[in-house]
Structure 1
C-alpha cells in the first residue's frame, strides 16, 4: 500500500466539508435511497470521487445486441468483469440482480477506506462485490454504493511467510487480493510447485470462498480454504485498516474463517498456506443405470457401502448425482493416485453391476484420466487435449489459459428456483444406518436430482486436517459429514432479456426440490448447511449455518460493526434489519 496516498486520502475525508462529519445517530432507522432526505449531494459524490482518484462511477448493466448477449452472458469471465452483473441473475421470490447506484472500483486499501467512511457518514446501503458468485445476491442491491474489488487481484507467492506479530516458523504461502479468482491462484501456486486449497469453480473469488468456509475439489486431502488462512487485511466499519492473524486480533481473524463474506468488513487481501503439490490428479466418470426401482435401491445400497470403504479418504473429491430416472452418475476427481489405482478403486462397484446384467447397465462407461498435478489448472492442456472438459474465454485479448469447467456452465447467469443443502453425518454409513440412508436417498431422488458432494465434508480426512478445520467458524457438522447433499433447480438467465422467469414452473421446481430435501432429511433431520451453498429461505438460519459458533460470531460482529454497516442476507447480526438491508426493525 502507498502510505502517503492513504494518509492523504484519510485527511481529505476527515476535512472535506462536502463529506461532512459522521452523523450523530448512526443507528438511524432507515438508509436513504436516491432522491430521499439524507442521500448524498452531487458535491458529496464529487468529494468521494476525488478521494478515490476518480474511481467513482454510476453503475449500469451492459447494453448488448441479441446475438452478442447470448454469447457473452454465458461467459462467467465476461459477467465477472461487469460491475452491473452477478454470476447468478436472481432467485425466485427472493432477489434479482440489479446494479447499485454508484460504484467505487477500488484499486487499493485506501480506496476501500474512502468508500467505507463515506458509506458510514451518509448511512448508505453498502455492497461489497469481488467476483459476484453469491447465491444470496450479496454482491448487488439497488440504490446502494458498491465497493468493487475486482481490480485488486494481485497474487504473490511466498517461499516462507510469517504473519505480522507472530513468532511462528515461516511457511510456503500465497497472498491474493480481494478480486482474485481461484483459477489464477491455482496457476500461481502450481507454477511454484505448490497447491493452494480453494474452490472447484475456476471463477469463484478467493475472498468470498474463504470467508464462507472454503470447500473445494480436494478438501478431504487438504482441508478447507478457511483453515489455510494465515493472515488477512480488512477494512472494518470504522474505516480502519487492520492486519489480523492468530497473534493480532485473533477473534476477528477467526470470524473471517467461515463467518461469512461481506459481514465483518471488506477483506482486501488474504494469505493462505500452501501444500506440497500432489504427484498426479485426475477424474473418474461413470454412469450406471438400474432397470427398475427395486434394482435402483439395490444399486444405492451397494453404492453406500462402496462410499464407506472407498470414497471417504484424502484421495477423493467432487460429486455423485442420483436421478429420478434411476441413473447414478459419478463425476469424481482424485489426487495422489495413479490412473490404475483410481480405476482399481471402482472395480468392486463395477463388478457388482457386471454380475447383475438384468438389473443394471453402464459397467463399460467408466472413463479414468490423470495428469501431473502441475498441469491440472493450465488452460492449454484443455485447449489442446481435452476441449470436451472446458469452455474458454473467447473475448479479444483474454488470457489464453482462462477457462471454466463445462460442468459449471449451467450455473452461469442462472435464475434460481430453489437451492438447498445438508451435511450428511458419517454415522449414516454405519451398518446399522445404511438402510435408513438408502431409503432417504431413494425417496429424495423420486422428486428431484440429488447431488452428493464428497469433497464438501471432512469425514475421512486426516486428524490434522480436521483439527485445523475445527479452528474455524464453520459449522461443526461439516467435520463429520461424509458429503454435502445439494438439491437445486434453476431457470435460464434473465440477463439481457434472454428469458423471462416463469413463475408457475419456478413454483413446481421449488416444491419438488423442497420435497426431495424433506425426504432426505428423514435420515439427517437436524443437519446443518453450508454457508456458501444453501437455501435463501433457510429456517433457523443462525443455527443451520453456524450451529454453536453463532453467538461468538455475533459478539464479534457487535464489536467491529455495532451499527450494522455491512449487511448480507442471513449474515451474522442481520436479525434486526429488513430483508433488503435498508430498514432497522424495532427492537
Structure 2
C-alpha cells in the first residue's frame, strides 16, 4: 500500500468512530451540509470526509495522482462519488469533435460537416458542454474538427477524465473532498471561457458549475463595513452575462459584468477582477461583490463577506478563480438602469492609404484620457491584412451619456478625421436602457483560433499624458500591427470605489487602456516552430509594450501563458499577501490554475513541450 492508503486507514480508524454516519460542515454563519455516508463501504468512506488533519495531504509523489498510479481511485470509489452526488458524475467525457473521427464511438460525418470554422468558433456551441475549453491551444489541440486543424486523430489530451455536474453545493463539497483525499488533480469549469486553459487539465476531476443558475433579487442589502445599502442580486456561479443582464433589466437595474454575452460572469470572471462597460462608473466586477458562498479546500461550506471568513472574501475578489475555493453563489450590487449612447464605425487603409490611415489613428490617442475620465468604454480593433490595416469602434460605449454628451466627447477626433479626408459614418445611437444598448453593440465572443496566443498590457495614464508619450505608444502599437499582430483594445478607466480593499490588480486603477495583441503561426506547425514563434513574440513585441510601461501589468483573464513575472503583472503589490493567503486557505495545493496564485510551485509537463494542459501536473523540483 502507498503512503496515501496508509494515511486513509489512519483517518478511517479515527474519523469513523467520531462520525460514523455523517460528514458535516458547519461554519460560523450556520451553513450546514450533511452528506450521508452510512451506506458507503468502509474501504472508500474516508475519501469523502472533510479534512481534519490541517496539514497537506500528499501521495509522496511530485505529481498529482493519475490513471495507472497505484493511488488512482478504484472503480468502486468513482461509483460511490457518482451515487453520493445523485448520478452527477460524467466519466470519460467525449470531446465535441470526436464525431469527426471514425474510430470514435460517436462518429457522425454529417455532424462533423456542420463544424465549419465560423460555426466551431461560436461560443454557444461550447458553453453547455461539460469539458470544452474555448482556448483550444491551451487544451493541446488533441481533438479538433479537420476543417479547423489536423489533430491527427482524437484523444482526450488536456480534457478531464471525470466531471461532477454540480448543481448544489454538496456536489462541490463531495468533489473537493474526493480530490483532496485521493491526490487526483482538481479543476473547475463554468463556461470554458479563458485564454489560458484554466478550466481544463489532463485526466483531472472537474467540477462543472455551469448549471448553478439561480438568480434572487434582494431589494435592500446592507453592509456597513462596505458602506453599501441598496439592491443586490444573489446568483449562482453558473449565471452568464446574458442571463443576469436580462434579470437586472426586468428590475430596472444593471450589474457590473463583461461585454461578452456568454461569459460566466459570476464565476472566474468576477474572481479575476473582471472589466466591464460599466467599469468607469462602478469599478470591476470584483469591486461590486458583497458576499460569496464557497466550498473551501477543507470541504467546508462557508459564507465569505465583510464579517465572516474575511481573508477568503478579500482573496476571492480579484485573486483569481480555481485558487482559493469553489464559489457556488455570489451576491453583487445592483445599480439603477441608465441611458447609453454608442457609436460603431471603422475605416481602412485600403481606402485611405497607409499614411492617412496611421495619421487618423495617431490622432485618436489624443482623446483616450478624456474618454476614460468621462466613464466611457471603447472596444476597438486594429486588424492587419496583407499590407493593409483596418480600424473599428466595436463600439464606443458611453453609459449615462446622451447623444449630445457622447458626441461632444467624440467631436474633436471627428474633426481631425474630416481634416484628413477620412470618410466614416459614426452611427451614433441612443438607447434608453443599458440592456438594449449592450445587446445591440458588442460582438459575440469567439472561441480562440487554433494558431493564436494573446498577450495584454494595462497601459497607465503616464503613457498618454504628454504628446511625446502618446507618440511613443502610437509607434509601438503601429510596429506591432505592422508585424502582423491582431490587436484588441479597451479604452477605459476602472473606478476605485470607496471602502474597497480587495485583491484586484493594483495596475487597473491608473490604467486608461487594456491593450492586447496576438501572435500567430501557420496551421499545423510543429511544436518546435510554435514555441519559437511564441517566445519571439514574448521577447519582441510583447516585451516592447512592457518596456514603455515600466511597472504596469496585465489582465490575468486575457493574457499569454508565457507572461513573465505573472504575479506582479496580474496583481501588482497585492501578490505577496495573496501568496500568504494561498498557503493558509489551501495548504494542500488542491486548487491549481496556470499563472494562478502560488502556481509557481507546479508545472504541467505537457507531452509536446508546449504551454498547454496536455500533461501531468507536477511539483517544480
TM-score (norm 2): 0.79
Give the equivalent residue in structure 1 for 2:246: 187
**Residues 194-234 of structure 1: CA deviation (Å, up to 9, x unaligned):** 11001111111121111110101221122110000000011
Q: Are 1:146 and 2:206 matched, yes or no?
A: yes
Give the equivalent residue in structure 2 for 1:68: 114
Equivalent residues in 2 for 1:495-534, closer than 5 Å: 506=530, 510=534, 513-514=537-538, 515-534=540-559
Please point out which of 396, 406, 412 is paired with 1:342.
Answer: 406
Cα shift at 1:111: 0.8
Please point out which of 254, 257, 263 is paired with 1:204.
Answer: 263
Give the equivalent residue in structure 1 for 2:90: 57
Give the equivalent residue in structure 1 for 2:78: 45
CA–CA distance in structure 2, aligned partners of residues 244 and 565 of structure 1: 19
Cα shift at 1:114: 0.8
**Residues 148-191 of structure 1: CA deviation (Å, up to 9, x unaligned):** 1111111111111246x979664211111111111101111111
Please point out which of 473, 484, 489 is paired with 2:503.
Answer: 473
**Residues 319-349 of structure 1: CA deviation (Å, up to 9, x unaligned):** 3536563543333222112234333432221
Partner SS for 2:232: strand
Give the equivalent residue in structure 1 for 2:281: 221
CA 1:307–1:374 in structure 2 vs 1: closer, same or farther (change >3 Å)? Answer: closer
Please point out which of 278, 299, 310 is paired with 1:250.
Answer: 310
Please point out which of 309, 313, 329 is paired with 2:392.
Answer: 329
CA–CA distance in structure 1, aligned partners of residues 142 and 256 of structure 2: 31
Q: Are 1:422 and 2:485 matched, yes or no?
A: no
Cα shift at 1:423: 0.9
**Residues 545-565 of structure 1: CA deviation (Å, up to 9, x unaligned):** 112111100111111110100
Give the equivalent residue in structure 2 for 1:34: 67
With 551-560 and 93-102 compared, the bigger mean Cα shift is at 93-102
Q: Is the 8 A contact 2:128 2:210 kept in 1?
A: yes
Give the equivalent residue in structure 2 for 1:161: 221
Q: Are 1:277 and 2:310 matched, yes or no?
A: no
Number of residue pairs the alignment of both structures matches: 543
CA–CA distance in structure 2, aligned partners of residues 430 and 13 of structure 1: 68
Q: Is the 8 A contact 1:13 1:114 kept in 2?
A: no
CA 1:192–1:466 in structure 2 vs 1: closer, same or farther (change >3 Å)? Answer: same
TM-score (norm 1): 0.84
Give the equivalent residue in structure 1 for 2:477: 441
**Structure 2 stretches lacking a partner, 5+ long:** 1-23, 100-110, 144-156, 606-615
Q: Output the aligned Cα RMSD.
A: 3.3
Q: Are 1:122 and 2:182 matched, yes or no?
A: yes
CA–CA distance in structure 2, aligned partners of residues 295 and 12 of structure 1: 76
With 15-24 and 544-553 compared, the bigger mean Cα shift is at 15-24
Cα shift at 1:428: 1.8
Give the equivalent residue in structure 2 for 1:307: 368
Give the equivalent residue in structure 1 for 2:131: 84
Give the equivalent residue in structure 1 for 2:597: 572
CA–CA distance in structure 1, aligned partners of residues 158 and 185 of structure 2: 14
Q: Is the 8 A contact 2:259 2:438 kept in 1?
A: no
Cα shift at 1:293: 5.4
CA 1:416–1:526 in structure 2 vs 1: closer, same or farther (change >3 Å)? Answer: farther
CA–CA distance in structure 2, aligned partners of residues 341 and 536 of structure 1: 40
CA–CA distance in structure 2, aligned partners of residues 367 and 84 of structure 1: 40
